[in-house]
Amino acid sequence: VDVFQAWCGPCKAAVDLFRTIRNEVGGDLLHFAVAEVDSIDALEKYRGKSEPVFLLYAGGKLVAVVRGANAPLLQKTILEQL
């Protein structure tokens, strides 16, 4: 989940990365979503941050958090979790 604030929008660079990984591993294993923190109370702790935050879930549980637009770290974390 790409967590973002309305004033900065979702991380567009991450969309391409997710597409690439999804094509490599298959569409059933990886799903991408965006969530605006200002409209979701459960994400309140991520408000006021200027960096993107990526929340990785498996089986309905949060398994990893990647802060910042660090594509190599994000890709590594996703592949490790898969």
The CATH number covering residue 46 comes to 3.40.30.10
The Cα 69–Cα 38 span in angstroms is: 20
Domain count, the chain: 1
Task: Tell me whether residue 14 is exposed, middle or buried, using C-beta atoms within 10 angstroms of its C-beta: 0 to 12, 13 to 18, 19 or more.
Answer: buried
Model pLDDT for residues 29-76, shown as the tens digit of each residue: 888 888 888 889 998 888 887 778 999 999 899 999 999 888 899 999
Higher-pLDDT residue of 55, 19:
55
What's the rounded Cα separation, in Å, for the pair 44 and 80?
27
Among the listed residues 3, 5, 21, the one whose alpha carbon sits nearest the alpha carbon of residue 82: 21
Owning domain of residue 43: 2-80
- Predicted structure pTM score: 0.83
